[in-house]
């Protein structure tokens, strides 16, 4: 049975098309991840932190992709940023994951607080990475620094909110 599973998976990988990170697919994934994390008992602030990090990452990827294609339009960056946050908010709102009674921390919806704080921390860690790289003649200080810094920042923030909410 395991051999059949491996063969089917290998065939699927050979026939798989390149992933297209389209916003509706990403927002459905976010909603599914929030639902799964609730089922597993993860606090909404912690889930939101990772949703916020994913959102900032998607924003960076989209801007880089558009820059690579040399597609520019007036106010493109604010439009992209607001567009992602509006789509994610609407997905969570219509899925009834936000604005639930009693699901607040410091007077703010826990999921939205997590998204905001995760976005800010991820953006700050990405900015710090680029700053340090510029100071080091365009080179990272250690392998995978570009990944380690933002993910570590999200892990630390998750730990802080874990202790705050427990």
Can you give the residue ranges of every domain in the chain?
22-98+106-165
| pLDDT for position 121 | 92
Biggest CA–CA distance in the chain, Å, is 56
Q: What is the mean pLDDT of each run of 10 residues along the chain (166 residues)?
A: 47 44 49 68 81 85 83 85 88 78 80 88 88 86 80 86 84
Is-contact 34 97, C-beta < 8 A?
yes
* Residue among 103, 150, 142, 94 nearest 122 (CA): 150
* Residue among 151, 161, 152 nearest 110 (CA): 161
Place of tokens 């509006």: 86
| pLDDT for position 88 | 85
> What whole-number distance in Å separates Cα of residue 69 and Cα of residue 61?
12
> What whole-number distance in Å separates Cα of residue 33 and Cα of residue 22?
17
| pLDDT for position 99 | 75
């Amino acid at each position: 049975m395991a051999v059949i599973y491996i063969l089917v998976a290998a065939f699927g990988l050979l026939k798989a098309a390149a992933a297209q990170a389209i916003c509706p697919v990403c927002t459905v994934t976010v909603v599914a991840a929030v639902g799964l994390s609730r089922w597993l008992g993860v606090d909404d602030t912690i889930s939101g932190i990772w949703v916020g990090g994913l959102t900032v990452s998607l924003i960076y990827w989209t801007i880089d992709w558009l820059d690579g294609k040399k597609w520019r339009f007036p106010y493109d960056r604010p439009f992209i940023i607001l567009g992602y946050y509006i789509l994610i908010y609407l997905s969570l709102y219509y899925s009834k994951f936000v604005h639930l009674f009693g699901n607040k921390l410091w007077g703010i919806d826990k999921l939205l607080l997590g998204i905001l704080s995760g976005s800010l921390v991820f953006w700050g860690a990405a900015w710090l990475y680029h700053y340090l790289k510029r100071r080091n003649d365009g080179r990272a200080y250690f392998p995978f620094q570009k990944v380690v810094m933002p993910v570590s920042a999200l892990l630390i923030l998750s730990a802080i909110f874990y202790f705050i909410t427990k």
